[in-house]
Amino acid sequence: MRRLGLKHGLFLLCLLAVTPHCAHLLYLPQERASEILTTMTEEGWQLALHHFPATGSGPRRQFPVLICHGIMSNKYNWDLTDQLSLPAHLARQGFDTWAVELRASGHSQKPGPYNQLHWDYSLDDYVQYDLPALIDFVRGHSGRKQVHWVGHSMGGLVLFGYLQRVRQDTIRSAIAVASPSYLLDHNHNLNFAMDMARSLDGVFKPVPTGTVSKMGSFLAGSPLLADMRIIWNYDNISPSTARLAAANAVENISPRVVAQMVSPLAGGPILSADGQYNYTAGMERIQVPFFFVAGMLDQLAPPAVVMSAYQSVASTDKRLAVLGRANGYRRDYGHVDLCLGETAPGEVFPLLADWIIDHD
């Protein structure tokens, strides 16, 4: 009996170990980038840039575009299928486009047994090391002094930080899609998840969000729990996209980043890891042309929060769009379906492209 239990236990362990890899193989995304280049941060992290050179017979645009994923994600956040690919869309519009990956995401370097890197980086490291390395690399490659930036969720938040703490003259124009400048306690399920994250602070290193998501990707096609609607609006995302995204677009992450995102009390500001710098208060320093996009049903960055960021920045050239039926869109958008929703290629991508074209 004991031997049987041990056997079963070992079998279960093996199964758990291979499940994420099975999910990855079962839901295999295709690659569209023409090349993947890398650059190195000042403190030695290798970062990946997926290059989508301008295509099509239309005019070639002046400034390159960098597209950045959100928290716990990678370039599949914006480039999952032929249809659901903002980089490919912008490349067809004549832009030299780069889907970039922050440290420990996607093709960028991850901490492991064969390097000296650790799962202890913070949001501040993205701001002060990753963004300067990525932006300077593309500026050097294209020979242009400025770039356009499109960030989803934390991909916009890290740009807020870069503009506040590093420099502003390298950014031609910016788009923050569903990027919060503070967190709102409006969703019971999200509040519960944040309380859980706080109580588990330091238990996991890294936080195994990617592993869990891969293991559960078989089930991601339908909302088994209400909590799953925090991520996207299931009315606007196909089951196959949901499974593909769960298997490929979610990454493990440093607990310090999670702590920084969940530590603010209700309505409180987002602070640096040492608590000395206030990213929320610093929004008023931002002066570059800025386009803020929110989803009507977004639970992570609800319109009220995005609106606050829009109102805070000092930019004279700024715009806000809330994507929902009441504003003439076909769907009420959630957090991730602003990038991967069924209607995103027809409604969101042209909206973003038009802003960038107008500011090129």
> Is there binding between residue 184 and other proteins (CB under 8 A)?
yes
Q: Which stretch binds other proteins (CB under 8 A): 73-81, 85-93, 236-244, 328-336?
A: 328-336
Count helices and strands (H / E) in the chain.
Answer: 12, 8
Q: How far is the CB of 212 from other proteins (least distance, A)?
A: 19
Q: Is the dihedral of CA 269, 274, 279, 284 positive or negative?
A: positive
Spatial distance between the Cα atoms of 224 and 226, rounded to a whole number of angstroms: 7
> Is there binding between residue 187 and other proteins (CB under 8 A)?
yes
- The residues with which 171 forms a beta bridge, in sequence order, are 147
> Is there binding between residue 297 and other proteins (CB under 8 A)?
yes
Spatial distance between the Cα atoms of 201 and 326, rounded to a whole number of angstroms: 40
Query: Cα separations (Å) of 268 from 180, 202, 332?
Result: 12, 22, 27
> Is there binding between residue 351 and other proteins (CB under 8 A)?
no
Q: Determine contact, residues 99/78, Cβ cutoff 8 Å.
A: yes
Closer to other proteins at the Cβ: 188 or 198? 188
Residue from 149, 329, 349, 355 in contact with other proteins (CB under 8 A)? 329
Closer to other proteins at the Cβ: 90 or 183? 183
> Is there binding between residue 222 and other proteins (CB under 8 A)?
no
Query: Cα separations (Å) of 239 from 69, 218, 219, 230?
Result: 21, 10, 9, 16
- The residues with which 291 forms a beta bridge, in sequence order, are 175, 319
Closer to other proteins at the Cβ: 60 or 325? 325
> Is there binding between residue 303 and other proteins (CB under 8 A)?
yes
> Is there binding between residue 281 and other proteins (CB under 8 A)?
no
Q: Which stretch binds other proteins (CB under 8 A): 31-39, 126-134, 184-192, 256-264?
A: 184-192
Residue from 29, 132, 221, 223 in contact with other proteins (CB under 8 A)? 223
HEC letters along 321-335: EEECHHHCCCCCCCC
Residue from 185, 195, 284, 354 in contact with other proteins (CB under 8 A)? 185
Return the structure tokens found at 242.
């949901």
Q: Which stretch binds other proteins (CB under 8 A): 45-53, 88-96, 219-227, 244-252?
A: 219-227
Q: How far is the CB of 181 from other proteins (least distance, A)?
A: 13
CB neighbours of 77 closer than 8 A, spacing ≥ 6?
69, 70, 152, 155, 249, 336, 339, 340
> Is there binding between residue 200 and other proteins (CB under 8 A)?
no
Residue from 330, 357, 359, 360 in contact with other proteins (CB under 8 A)? 330
Would you give the distance in Å from CA 30 to the centre of its chain? 19
Residue from 271, 296, 336, 352 in contact with other proteins (CB under 8 A)? 296
Site for other proteins in 42-101 (CB under 8 A): none
Spatial distance between the Cα atoms of 342 and 339, rounded to a whole number of angstroms: 9
CB neighbours of 307 closer than 8 A, spacing ≥ 6?
292, 294, 320, 322
> Is there binding between residue 193 and other proteins (CB under 8 A)?
no
Q: How far is the CB of 326 from other proteins (least distance, A)?
A: 3
Q: How far is the CB of 349 from other proteins (least distance, A)?
A: 16
Residue from 273, 281, 320, 357 in contact with other proteins (CB under 8 A)? 320
Report the 10 Å Cβ neighbour count for 255: 19
Spatial distance between the Cα atoms of 333 and 235, rounded to a whole number of angstroms: 9
> Is there binding between residue 202 and other proteins (CB under 8 A)?
no
- Catalog residues that contact other proteins under the rule CB under 8 A: 184-189, 223, 226-227, 229-230, 235, 266-267, 296-297, 299, 302-304, 307-308, 320, 322, 324-330, 332, 334
